[in-house]
Amino acid sequence: MKTTHHVIVSRFSVPRLDAATAGRHADRDWLDSRLALFRRFFVPSVGRLGVPVILLCSAESVDYVATATRELVWATVEEQNDWYGGWHGSPEQIVTRLDTDDAVHEGWIDALEAAPADYEVYCTTRFLRYHPPSRRLYSRSRWVPSPLAAFRRGRNPYAHDHSELETHYRVKLLPERYLLQVVHGGNVSSRLPSWRHFWHRIPRRRLAPFGVEA
């Protein structure tokens, strides 16, 4: 590993609050589909950053995910059974939250190192969204922070929803598009673009800095 000053944390299979989807964390078919997305997008993107990764899993799924990802020396699987709270880092760490079906720009860690140190959380309101079936890539801006965020002093990355970060922390909005969301139909954030939002189609070559192949 290059450093342990940074760590990336993701809720891989933590029980959701929605009763209709809460049981998916223990469903093997759902876990296998999640692992497929994880390997296609998250692994090539994050694996090259040289930072440790924590995958949070329920008691019923932690062994299955640990076995399925055992060759990833940079990833550690830990048990968490609550949607909010749970894992936190050490005071000297900067903790990034990132979904396991998404990718992050290769410049994210450098951007955090260059950012002013007098903020508690760093995030962005700009990101890209990719639709693999059509191979279309879009750029989007929004009013609230995206799910990608970094927390100073090892703060718990899942104490609050990403849309509420500016209410609870001193937040610095970074200007570039460091998050790539993948449209696969599995949740709200993966919906196809709507004309009512600020969407712009962009060339697929913009995928390269995220470690994703079109």
- With CA atoms as reference, report the closest residue to 100 among 171, 187, 17: 187
Give the per-residue pLDDT at 26: 87
pTM, rounded to two decimals:
0.91
Lowest mean pLDDT among 30-39, 100-109, 178-187, 202-211: 178-187
Counting residues of the chain whose pLDDT is more than 70, the rounded percentage is 88
Counting residues of the chain whose pLDDT is more than 90, the rounded percentage is 77
Coil vs helix vs strand at 208: helix
pLDDT tens digit sequence for 113-148: 999 999 999 999 999 999 998 899 999 888 899 999
Give the per-residue pLDDT at 192: 57
CA dihedral 120, 53, 38, 182 (to 10 degrees): 20
Average pLDDT over residues 151-175: 96
Give the per-residue pLDDT at 20: 55
Give the per-residue pLDDT at 16: 81
Give the per-residue pLDDT at 105: 98
pLDDT tens digit sequence for 41-96: 999 999 999 999 999 999 999 999 999 999 999 999 999 999 898 899 999 999 99
- With CA atoms as reference, report the closest residue to 65 among 41, 98, 100, 40: 100
Please name each of the domains of the chain with its CATH number.
6-210 (3.90.550)
> By the 8 A CB rule, do 9 and 96 touch?
yes
Q: Whole-angstrom Cα distance, residue 150 to residue 94?
A: 6
CA dihedral 205, 210, 213, 214 (to 10 degrees): -50
Who has greater pLDDT, 66 or 16?
A: 66
Residue 27 has pLDDT above 80, yes or no: yes
Give the per-residue pLDDT at 45: 98
Give the per-residue pLDDT at 214: 77
